[in-house]
Amino acid sequence: MFKSLLSKTPCSSSSLLLRKSISTTTQKISICQPHLLVSFKLNHNLTCFQHNNLSLLSSLTLTHYRTFSNITLPSNESPKDSVNVSFYMFSDIPNPSHLRDSLLSFWARQGIKGRCYIAKEGINSQITVPIDKKDVVFSEELRSEFPFLNSIYLNYSHDTSPGFQHLKVMVKNQVLADGNVEVNLENTGEYVSPSEWDKLLSEMKSESKKYLLLDVRNNYESEIGYFEDGGISAIRPNVDTFKSSIPVIKEILKGKEDHTILMYCTGGIRCTKMSSILKDSGFEDVKQLKGGIVTYLREIKKTSSPSKFKGKNFVFDERLIEEGSVDIVGKCHHCGDPWDEPTNCFSRSCNAIIVMCPNCRSKLHGTCGQHLCMDSVTNDKKPNVEQNNSSEASKDFSRRPHIKSEGLTLDEVKYPYLNNNT
């Protein structure tokens, strides 16, 4: 093992010193700045050099922070009393790298963990915030320097389980990859509140109304939870990326331009871009659930009204799910039994998101069941899945109602007015 090649030259405000550490298993690069020290792992070699800003962070994944200079940065552990917050906004950001550096520095000092993507088209983020910092996600200096932050809707989850243990702030080409289609983000759908949303869903049963309820998420999200009312469930395209959903949704909705489109997603960002695409394609009446499922679940818990969202809400952090209703709408990918707990295939080369019951997960050694994945883990150390079997997720769920998951395309969804082919 080689010793770290560390320069003892102090870093100036105009330069960064990258220092390479080599071990038998991992390579680390440390960036040194007067008020910040960040460590992260790399998958490729880098030689020591100087750089005058943090622009290369756009291609690096943060793994932990340490204390440096006059700022005490948090450890890897998430705060016990915390709140999960998501937000997005499409806004012209001329210098994404500058915003990234500013957010990284401020959030690290506040003990905020999470993931944030910044591009010239806008920002998209999910973070875990200490409960005493939930009202200061952005500092006054940030709000002054980047005025669009003052208009951002902070979407607080009802689930207080920590979603992140690390912080990653990255510059990307797009905050929501769409295949570079032309999108007029000033022409989007109408936002409706959770209470208005419930009223609209109730109206779907009327033969005099022409509504289509559309889930704008991926298949592995919609298979464990979706909106349903009176036997009418959402159209759930069988796609695994937003980019691939665009042509599929256009084909599903072809000829239905005179219908009112009701769309929803996790937090709203996919609906905002999709609603713009549909409006540019001739759909005049497009409505979207403001704040998505996250806002709906938070607000419905404040009332005595039954939730029209059935199942669990898939989230893109270490929680994987937010509790929705007690209904089970998913099923184990292997045996087909009712189940709604997503997990990742234990094989590092796969890592696919799968819904698998504890029994099957134990039998398949924590993998998705493919032979290559099975071989990769059985020839190595088997995962400890017995621990998961005794968790809350493994408790008897026979008392929870199971709703049959029906339909991924328009032809399979039962709308009263579609029976007449209108």
DSSP assignment of 54-111 equals SGGGGG-EEEEE--BTTB----SSPPSSEEEEEEEEE---S-HHHHHHHHHHHHHHHT
For residue 172, which amino acid is it? K
Residue 127's pLDDT is what?
A: 97
Point out the residues that are catalytic: 265
* Higher per-residue pLDDT: 51 or 202: 202
41 within 8 A of 31, measured Cβ to Cβ: no
For residue 151, which amino acid is it? S
39 within 8 A of 20, measured Cβ to Cβ: no
Over residues 132-152, the mean pLDDT reads 95
pLDDT band at 396 (very low <50, low <70, confident <90, very high): very low
pLDDT 10s digits, 314-368: 999 889 999 998 899 999 999 999 999 998 898 888 888 889 999 999 999 999 9
Q: How far apart are the first and last CA of the chain?
A: 72
pLDDT band at 371 (very low <50, low <70, confident <90, very high): confident
| Cα 383 to Cα 268: distance, rounded to the nearest angstrom | 36
Residue 89's pLDDT is what?
A: 97
DSSP 132: G
Give the phi and the psi of residue 252 in degrees, each rounded to 5: -60, -40
Query: Hey, CA dihedral for 374, 376, 382, 386, is it positive or negative?
Result: negative
Outline where DSSP puts E strands in 93-188.
113-119, 122-130, 155-156, 167-171
Q: Is residue 44 pLDDT above 50, yes or no? A: no
Going from the C-alpha of 155 to that of each of 68, 159, 248, the distances in angstroms are: 32, 12, 28
| Cα 18 to Cα 46: distance, rounded to the nearest angstrom | 9
**Token couple for 416:** 């009263």
pLDDT band at 80 (very low <50, low <70, confident <90, very high): low
Residue 77's pLDDT is what?
A: 55
Identify the helix (H) or strand (E) that includes residue 272. helix 269-280
Residue 23's pLDDT is what?
A: 33
Residue 410's pLDDT is what?
A: 39
